[in-house]
Amino acid sequence: METNPNDCRIPVAKPVTKSDTQFDPVTIEVIKRKKSEKSNKNDIEAILALDLLNGLSKNGQLPWFHDSSTRIVEDMRFFREKTLNNIVVMGTNTLLSFPDSKPLKDRTNIVVTRDKMKYLEQYKHDYDNLFFYSEEELITLLEHTRISSAKIFIIGGKQVYEKFLPYCSTIWLTRIKHDYSCDLTLNYNFSKYKKTLHYTDSNMDIEKLEF
The tens digit of pLDDT for each residue in 69-120 reads 789 999 999 999 999 999 999 999 999 999 999 999 999 999 999 999 999 9
How far lies 179's CA from each of 55, 58, 64, 176, in Å?
Answer: 8, 11, 10, 8
What is d(CA 139, CA 159) in angstroms, rounded to the nearest whole number? Answer: 14
Q: Which residues neighbour 137 within 8 Å (Cβ) at sequence distance 6 or greater?
A: 13, 23, 27
Q: Regarding predicted confidence, which is higher, 187 or 6?
A: 187
Side by side, the strands of the sheet bearing 194-200 are 130-133, 108-112, 87-91, 152-154, 44-50, 170-176, 204-210, 194-200
Task: List, as one string, the DSSP characters of 1-29.
Answer: ----TT----PPP--SSTT--SPPHHHHH
Q: How many CB atoms lie within 10 A of CB 209?
A: 21
Task: Please state the rounded mean pLDDT for residues 192-203.
Answer: 97
pLDDT of 7 over the 50 cut:
no
pTM for this model (two decimals):
0.81
The tens digit of pLDDT for each residue in 17-33 reads 333 344 554 454 445 55
Instruction: State the pLDDT confidence band at 145, using cuts at 50, 70 and 90.
Output: confident
What is d(CA 127, CA 209) in angstroms, rounded to the nearest whole number? Answer: 33
- Burial class of residue 156 (count of CB atoms within 10 Å of its CB; 0-12, 13-18, 19+): buried
Report the chain's mean pLDDT, rounded to a whole number. 85
Q: Residues for the chain: how many in total?
A: 211
What is d(CA 95, CA 100) in angstroms, rounded to the nearest whole number? Answer: 9
What is d(CA 35, CA 61) in angstroms, rounded to the nearest whole number? Answer: 39
Among 3.40.430.10, 3.60.140.10, 1.10.600.10, 3.40.30.10, name the CATH number for the domain at 39-48+72-180: 3.40.430.10
